[in-house]
Amino acid sequence: MAVLLVPYPIFLSLVCLALGLLQGCTTSATKSGHNGAHYKIGTSYSINGVAYKPQYYDHYEEIGIASWYGEGFHNKLTANGDVFSRFSLTAAHKTLPMPSFVEITNLENGKKVIVKVNDRGPFVENRIIDLSEKAAILLGFRDKGTAKVKVLYLGKMSRNILYEQLSNKARYAKLEERHRKDLITAKTSVGYILKVTEAAHAKRVASELRRQGIQGVRVLFKAGKYQVHLH
């Protein structure tokens, strides 16, 4: 039996991607976001004499310095109306649409995480993105404070989420809540198991995990639930 090589934070991020969750996924019970969250590109603005122009991107990739923010902003509103949680996988960016998703790679240690952009910043010279405390922990630079990272915009994932949100907000809220209830993960001696109530969700997760190059993905039906096994 092959050994599962994907770390849990990456596994959880991929599951969030496959299920199309709007809110940041986290191993904590604390949730960010509330009914005031909305899609926003925004108009041009200026901070400390520097002009910024938020816009839609077909492709966005940048290498630079990331920082993080946490306790001082916990439970305060973000730029698009979410409630910021230091325990969620979120980020602040100067120009990307909100919400959108980006993959962050710490170029100093190779660690990766997927986060939701729902805030504006950082307005500090030579910094390209401000991450939540949780993201900084998973990327291994909370104590250091900053790290050199690569930011990759996940266009397809972001567009799918925005389409759902903009086309039918009420329906999306119900879907999101159902996905949250479905998201039950367990680590076993041979890998991870994701249990969901609908076959379509299980197939979507399995397909996305395989697309990301993860081996040993199987979909089973046990005890009234569909299970995605990673071995």
Distance CA 174, CA 191 (A): 30
Kindly indicate the confidence band of residue 4, based on its pLDDT and cuts at 50, 70 and 90.
very low
| pLDDT beyond 80 at 173 | no
Look at residue 58 in the predicted model and tell me its pLDDT: 82
| pLDDT beyond 60 at 151 | yes
Q: What is the pTM of this model?
A: 0.56
Structural domains of the chain, ranges and CATH numbers in brackets: 50-156 (2.40.40.10), 189-230 (no CATH)
Kind of pairing, strands 112-119 and 90-92? Answer: parallel
Look at residue 119 in the predicted model and tell me its pLDDT: 92
Greater model confidence, 16 or 49? 49
Angle between helices 199-211 and 8-19 in degrees, nearest 10: 130
Kindly indicate the confidence band of residue 217, based on its pLDDT and cuts at 50, 70 and 90.
confident
Residue type, 65: I
Look at residue 194 in the predicted model and tell me its pLDDT: 65
With a pLDDT cut of 90, the percent of the chain lying above it is 33
Kindly indicate the confidence band of residue 40, based on its pLDDT and cuts at 50, 70 and 90.
low
CB contact at 8 A, 136 and 142: yes
Q: How many residues does the chain have?
A: 231
Look at residue 21 in the predicted model and tell me its pLDDT: 43
> What are the tens digits of pLDDT across the range 66-86?
999 999 999 999 888 889 999
Distance CA 230, CA 209 (A): 9
The reply to whether omega before 122 is within 30° of 0 (cis) is yes
| pLDDT beyond 70 at 52 | yes
What average pLDDT does range 107-124 have in this prediction?
Answer: 93
> What are the tens digits of pLDDT across the range 85-101?
999 999 999 999 888 89
CB contact at 8 A, 67 and 122: yes
Please classify residue 225 by burial: count the beta carbons closer than 10 Å to its beta carbon, then call 0-12 exposed, 13-18 middle and 19+ buried.
middle
CB contact at 8 A, 93 and 135: no
